[in-house]
Chain A
Amino acid sequence: MKTRVAFFDFSSCEGCQLQIANLEEEILDLIEIVDVVSFREVMKEHSNEYDIAVIEGSIMRPMDEHRLRKIRSRCKILVALGACATTGGINKIRNQWPVENVIKEVYKDADIKDNEFFNAFQTKAVNEVIPVDYYIHGCPINRDEFKHVITSLALGKKPVIPTYPVCVECKKNENVCLFELGKYCLGPITRAGCNAICPTNGSPCDGCRGILSKPDVECVMEILQRYDLTYEELKSRCTLYNTNVFNPKDGMTLVRRSKND
């Protein structure tokens, strides 16, 4: 029997699911090796029997948590798809304010107290609610990486996700370093796998694939020094996709390691 895959979307722009449609003719190859049994965005058919659940989007409400737990209980492997799911993505920008504050800003004085659709908490990534087995990073995801992960899992193999920084891919593309051009880029600390698509198109990396678990801090400090940039600015640049990075509670800090480290 073919591996059964189901797609589910939570709070997101649905752009990562769209990348699957954007595989174009290759989707037809993909459905040769897997059975897509649920994918609300493009199909009416639905089944609760699946092996792999692919989750797009952040978790924002108790009703979403409930739905997510049900999905987890039904699948063997759970994959988080795209930044909103893997890290919380830009949905976490709002976590700097209490929920009441952001509701007031957007919905003013609307009477929404008893409406469960509005019952929002601080944005969570998928792994803050249930265990996640594999991650497909990015905003949006890289289609080739999606193919790699899904075909590997369908064949019972472990997919490989880069553990080196975007700079490696950027150099391979023979780009002029954006720091040289006076721009501020998060490439040195961000997980590769996007083929350095932003710097290659003249725009700095915003860190959408998440910060490396072990960034080369010495190298970052050297860059800051060489281009006369501040650590504070680095922190502020990380607030688009990586608001948690500088919170020691979340296990990742960009502090200079001691020489004996």
Chain B
Amino acid sequence: MTKDFSINVEHVTRVEGHGNIILDVKNGKIKKVEWQVSEAPRFFEAMLRGRNYDELQPITSRICGICSIGHSLASLKATEDALDVKISKQTGILRRLAINAENMQSHILHVGYLALPDLLDVGSVFPLVGTKHKDALLKIVKLHRLSNVMSDLICGRTTHPIRLVVGGFSAIPSKKQLLDLKKELVEGLEITKEVADVVKSVAGNFPNFKRETEYIALTSNNEYALYDGVIASTDTGKHPDYKNYEKIMNEYFVPQSTAFYAKHARDSYMVGALARFNLNNKQLHPVAKKVADMFGLKPVNYNPFMNNIAQVVEFVHNIEDSVNWIDILVDEGVRDEQPNEVKLKAGRGVGIIEAPRGILIHDYTLNDKGRCMKANCVIPTNQNHANIQKDMEEFVPQIIDKPEKEIELNLEMLVRAYDPCISCSTHYLDVKFV
């Protein structure tokens, strides 16, 4: 088969930030296949230099609008680690509610607004208003609103949380507000099952593609790890030495280009919902497990498109988990407590959490005046870029005989499956494999 064509998708749509897909085929042979990232560099690590310890959260929250709660929590954990600030049990629970809320908001946005249009053969969700899918769309909007109502209540705002501060919370929800939220969550669980059915009915449109790779996520003995845990890999097991995360997340340059890559045991690895599912699925709550079974999702699943499904499963888990935590909070009594006191000292702190798109690390060195001397942030999407590229290299030969438009759509769907958040790139990435 001889075929000449090229695909050049500049600024892939329905993803956060700017990335391009380049495919060049001559005589049926692949000359070039590239996942490029053209986002403007934002220099966050440089901006943090000299800032006061209590400004690090508000600044780094602005790395990403979608996962601002994740960045805020990683930032606070790093700052508290450096200053040796302990948090109360209540703060730990409220932060878990915050991380659940964000995971829900981000996942439903991705599955419902960004990924689903591909499965229903439309360019965006807007045309669905006039179709038989309107009802499903309204349910998705409802779940999106529920997630944001929860962020509003716990964090004071949906994007760029206000109440999350060093040592605790600047304001605390009341018992009544929490019980009202619980009621909405319980109702939301039913709506989620209905939306899962809709996704199930079209999930056959996801390409059946597999590539063995390594998965990295936090893991914990106590829970399905999002807020707390140790770094773990499907290849190498647990790595409890969190301050030496750089031994796992090796960011490196490809010699012939300027690329920052991340690798560990293999050429690339994947982080995010599918990585968490592959490592921690036994700790999912019961309904989430049922939904995973409904989709036939079993560990270790090597199909990147199933990341979409893992997000649906996590959404269900987050609701169940939040209901449990609210019950505990209400049982023990919600206290209107002040954030724990901070005593300045020099030191280095590392905060690691699971953001919606995967493991996220903030690393700060503070001086004895509480000023930041050095900062490093390891962003989930940066860790996925190499894996996206490796997937494309293996995926393209499998679909090369399809019509051009279909190849293009398949590659876009692959990128979207990772739910990349390119605007997050505090490090610049320019992936080139020519």
In chain B, residues 379-434, which have Cβ atoms closer than 8 Å to a Cβ of chain A?
423-424, 426-428, 430
The segment from A91-99, A147-155, A210-218, A219-227 that touches chain B is: A91-99
Q: Is the Cβ of B46 less than 8 Å from the Cβ of A101? A: yes
Q: Is the Cβ of A44 less than 8 Å from the Cβ of B46? A: no
In the bound complex, CA of A22 to CA of B102 (Å) = 13
A106 with B427, Cβ < 8 A, contacts A13-B65, A94-B47, A101-B46 known: yes
Q: Which B residues are in CB contact (< 8 Å) with A89?
A: 62
Q: Which B residues are in CB contact (< 8 Å) with A9?
A: 18, 423
In the bound complex, CA of A48 to CA of B61 (Å) = 33
What are the interface flags for B231-268 relative to A under an 8 Å C-beta threshold, 1 for contact and 0 otherwise? 00000000000000000000001000010100000000
Q: Which B residues are in CB contact (< 8 Å) with A64?
A: 40
Query: In chain A, what residue has the closest Cβ to B42?
Result: A11
B124 within 8 A of A: yes
In the bound complex, CA of A31 to CA of B137 (Å) = 15
Q: Is the Cβ of B58 less than 8 Å from the Cβ of A140? A: no
A198 to chain B, nearest CB (A): 5
Q: Which B residues are in CB contact (< 8 Å) with A40?
A: 11, 13-14
In the bound complex, CA of A42 to CA of B66 (Å) = 13
Q: Is the Cβ of A15 less than 8 Å from the Cβ of B41? A: no
In the bound complex, CA of A126 to CA of B394 (Å) = 42
The segment from B109-117, B203-211, B273-281 that touches chain A is: B109-117
Q: Which A residues are in CB contact (< 8 Å) with B347?
A: none
Query: In chain A, what residue has the closest Cβ to B137?
Result: A28
The segment from B79-87, B89-97, B158-166 that touches chain A is: B158-166
The segment from A70-78, A127-135, A199-207 that touches chain B is: A199-207
The list of the 10 closest CB pairs from A to B, nearest first, reads: A15-B65, A43-B124, A201-B156, A202-B170, A44-B123, A102-B46, A105-B46, A13-B65, A201-B162, A202-B171
A31 with B126, Cβ < 8 A, contacts A11-B40, A197-B157 known: yes
Interface size in chain B (residues, C-beta < 8 A): 61
A33 to chain B, nearest CB (A): 14
The segment from A115-123, A158-166, A185-193, A248-256 that touches chain B is: A115-123
A180 within 8 A of B: no
**Can you list 5 pairs linking A and B with CB atoms under 8 Å apart?**
A15-B68, A102-B43, A110-B260, A197-B156, A203-B163
Known contacts A15-B64, A107-B427; 13 further A-B pairs (Cβ under 8 A): A15-B62, A24-B141, A24-B144, A25-B138, A41-B14, A43-B123, A44-B117, A61-B40, A91-B42, A97-B46, A106-B426, A112-B258, A201-B156
Q: Which residues of A contact B (CB under 8 A)?
A: 9-19, 21-22, 24-25, 28, 31, 36, 39-46, 60-61, 64, 89-91, 93-94, 97, 101-103, 105-107, 110-112, 115, 117-118, 120, 139-140, 197-198, 200-203, 206, 240
Q: Is the Cβ of A14 less than 8 Å from the Cβ of B65? A: yes
Query: Across the A-B interface, how many residue pairs have beta carbons closer than 8 Å?
Result: 170
In the bound complex, CA of A87 to CA of B11 (Å) = 25
Q: Which A residues are in CB contact (< 8 Å) with B253?
A: 110
Q: Is the Cβ of A19 less than 8 Å from the Cβ of B159? A: yes
B148 within 8 A of A: yes
B321 within 8 A of A: no
In the bound complex, CA of A201 to CA of B44 (Å) = 26
B432 to chain A, nearest CB (A): 10
B391 to chain A, nearest CB (A): 21
Q: Which B residues are in CB contact (< 8 Å) with A112?
A: 258, 428
In the bound complex, CA of A14 to CA of B425 (Å) = 12
Q: Which A residues are in CB contact (< 8 Å) with B43?
A: 94, 102-103, 105-106
Q: Is the Cβ of B16 less than 8 Å from the Cβ of A41? A: yes
What are the interface flags for B148-181 relative to A under an 8 Å C-beta threshold, 1 for contact and 0 otherwise? 1000000011111011010000110000000000
Q: Is the Cβ of B113 less than 8 Å from the Cβ of A42? A: yes
Q: Is the Cβ of B66 less than 8 Å from the Cβ of A18? A: yes
Query: In chain A, what residue has the closest Cβ to B129?
Result: A28
A10 with B170, Cβ < 8 A, contacts A24-B144, A118-B428, A203-B162 known: no
In the bound complex, CA of A191 to CA of B138 (Å) = 36
Q: Which A residues are in CB contact (< 8 Å) with B158?
A: 19, 22
Q: Is the Cβ of A13 less than 8 Å from the Cβ of B64? A: yes
Residue of A19, A101, A139 with most partner-chain B CB within 10 A: A139
B145 within 8 A of A: yes
Q: Is the Cβ of B40 less than 8 Å from the Cβ of A10? A: yes
A129 to chain B, nearest CB (A): 14
Q: Is the Cβ of B40 less than 8 Å from the Cβ of A42? A: no
Q: Which A residues are in CB contact (< 8 Å) with B40?
A: 10-11, 60-61, 64, 117, 120
Q: Which A residues are in CB contact (< 8 Å) with B55?
A: 240
Contact for B38 among A36, A117, A198, CB less than 8 A: A117
Q: Is the Cβ of A15 less than 8 Å from the Cβ of B170? A: no
B45 within 8 A of A: yes
Q: Which A residues are in CB contact (< 8 Å) with B18?
A: 9
What are the interface flags for B31-60 relative to A under an 8 Å C-beta threshold, 1 for contact and 0 otherwise? 000000011111111110100000100110
Q: Is the Cβ of B423 less than 8 Å from the Cβ of A118? A: no
Query: In chain A, what residue has the closest Cβ to B259?
Result: A110
Contact for A201 among B11, B38, B47, B163, CB less than 8 A: B163
Query: In chain B, what residue has the closest Cβ to A101?
Result: B46
A42 with B47, Cβ < 8 A, contacts A14-B66, A25-B141, A31-B126 known: no
Q: Which A residues are in CB contact (< 8 Å) with B142?
A: 24
Q: Is the Cβ of A140 less than 8 Å from the Cβ of B160? A: yes
Q: Is the Cβ of A22 less than 8 Å from the Cβ of B148? A: yes
B125 within 8 A of A: yes
A230 to chain B, nearest CB (A): 15
Query: In chain B, what residue has the closest Cβ to A57?
Result: B40
In the bound complex, CA of A89 to CA of B65 (Å) = 14
Q: Is the Cβ of A140 less than 8 Å from the Cβ of B65? A: yes
In the bound complex, CA of A99 to CA of B156 (Å) = 35
Q: Which A residues are in CB contact (< 8 Å) with B378?
A: none
Q: Which A residues are in CB contact (< 8 Å) with B59?
A: 90, 93, 240
A176 to chain B, nearest CB (A): 12
A202 with B58, Cβ < 8 A, contacts A14-B16, A31-B126, A115-B258 known: no
B188 within 8 A of A: no
In the bound complex, CA of A101 to CA of B253 (Å) = 20
In the bound complex, CA of A200 to CA of B424 (Å) = 28
Q: Which A residues are in CB contact (< 8 Å) with B258?
A: 110-112, 115, 118
A13 to chain B, nearest CB (A): 4
Residue of B15, B18, B62, B423 with most partner-chain A CB within 10 A: B62
